[in-house]
Amino acid sequence: MRPPILAPIHRQGWPFIALFALVTVGLAAISSFLGWIGLLLTAWCVFFFRDPGRAVPDRAGLVVSPADGIVTLIEPAVPPRELGLEPTPRPRISVFMNVFDVHVNRAPIAGTVARMSYRPGSFFNASLDKASEQNERQSIRLALADGRDIVMVQIAGLVARRIVNWVAEGDALATGQRLGMIRFGSRVDIYLPDGVQPLVGEGQRAIAGETVLADLASDEPARRVIPL
């Protein structure tokens, strides 16, 4: 069976699409120019809520990107304190999603949701380093079968005003499983176990559920980015 040419729309998007379409009808009644603007915004809303399938790698130990977007930061950082982890810096990979990226987030690796914590905050540009600490966020600690853990943090951005989650503490997740989304434009941070090296570089585009960020079973050194 051939895959569909157009990506399916996530069910959470239909109320927004209907609202945009209704507003478009009202704008078109006022003037054709406003109607065309409304139509473009409605088309963007449809595009925003697309939810394409992904070819997820199956090998144990692979950490895949939880989000579509650009890897903006790779640096040691302390995981959110509300998760109750030791205040020890870990390798952190930040993936920034703009308003044109797919915003459905996926589990970076198979594991059990050991702890979740929501913290309100500011709405700075999500590409800034301070967004990890000061912006509204939803933190998820995944316990792995080997006793280690990985932390995933959904961070609201300058435009985003809603972090949505579809999982709860105790849930067993598969690699690449859909677990939430952020509306509209945002960032996701991944905190790797100590000693694990990222296999991506800053400026690289990541695809949720497909791009391998790290390999827990490998001692391969961190990637080196060659400037243009």
Is pLDDT at 2 greater than 50 in this prediction?
A: no
- Residue 82 is given by DSSP the state G
With CA atoms as reference, report the closest residue to 12 among 97, 103, 109, 139. Answer: 103
With CA atoms as reference, report the closest residue to 212 among 51, 53, 52, 66. Answer: 66
Is the pTM value of this prediction over 0.85? no
* CB half-sphere exposure, 129, CA atoms < 13 A: 7
Is pLDDT at 21 greater than 90 in this prediction?
A: no
Q: 12: buried, middle or exposed (CB in 10 Å: 19+, 13-18, 0-12)?
A: middle
Percent of the chain scoring above 70 in pLDDT: 85
Is pLDDT at 199 greater than 60 in this prediction?
A: yes
d(CA 39, CA 43): 6
Is pLDDT at 40 greater than 50 in this prediction?
A: yes
Catalytic sites, residue numbers: 186
What is the per-residue pLDDT across 115-163, written as a single tens digit (0 to 9) for each?
A: 999 987 665 555 555 556 667 889 999 999 999 999 999 988 665 557 8
